[in-house]
Amino acid sequence: MTKVFIIGLPRTGTTSVSVALLEQGYKVAHQAFTKQAFELADVISDAPCFSDYRQLDKQFPGAKFVYLDRSLDTWVPSMQMLLSRMLVHLDDKTGRFNPILKRSFNHSFGVNRLDNPMDTEHLIHCYRTHSSQVFDYFKGRDDLLSIDISEPGSLSKLINFLESDNDSIDSNILDQGFPHLNKGRNVASWDEYRHPNKVSANVAGPENRKYFDYKLADQPSNLYFNN
């Protein structure tokens, strides 16, 4: 089937969307750091999709992309909470997180180039820059959907976008909306969720845990980090 990339930033509902699509029968990787994870999953969300959508667009011709919007009033404090937990593990030299995850966060948030990457104005800038770059890149195309999962009907819009050629979509399921996960300070809902369609971010394949060899070009947002 067509690959689907969820390219909203962290804390915009990537986990809720991932779980909802698991329940719709899709194989989903919430984050993917190996070629094999991308091959096995129908849907890939979060890192590195939000930073690498240009490269993934070329890597997977015909893929569909979903941008997740969220009010800045709620996104900023949620992102600050997430970074407060993650920063120590995102350090280029000593952090324990996967190098692809580190690169993705550093590219989009400059986490290792600022004294205070949790600064409110900085995060607002990152959010708005990411949004404008996404819509500039996909301008005039029909393979991008933008939704806010808090809005009624957003799940219906998503499923209809992904299955535009399916005339047998169950409208009763679509009326239920997205599950509300990762509430408050909970950031482990995906790991705790059990489902046979889950694809591990680090699953090994014929090339072990090798990732794609593309490079990320500097984006305009990076100029801000160096000021």
- Read off the pLDDT band of 35 (50, 70, 90): very high
Check: CB of residue 192 under 8 Å from CB of residue 15: no
pLDDT score at 29: 98
Angle at which helix 120-137 crosses helix 72-90, to 10 degrees, equals 100
Residue 53 has pLDDT above 70, yes or no: yes
* pTM of structure: 0.90
Which stretch of 3-12, 123-132, 155-164 has the lowest confidence by average pLDDT? 155-164
The mean of the pLDDT values for the chain is: 88
Structure token digits, residue 157: 């819009």
Neighbouring C-alpha atoms within 13 Å toward the C-beta of 220: 11
Q: For the chain, how big is the Rg over CA atoms in Å? A: 17
Instruction: In whole angstroms, give the CA distance from residue 69 to residue 144.
Output: 13
The pLDDT of residue 56 is above 90: yes
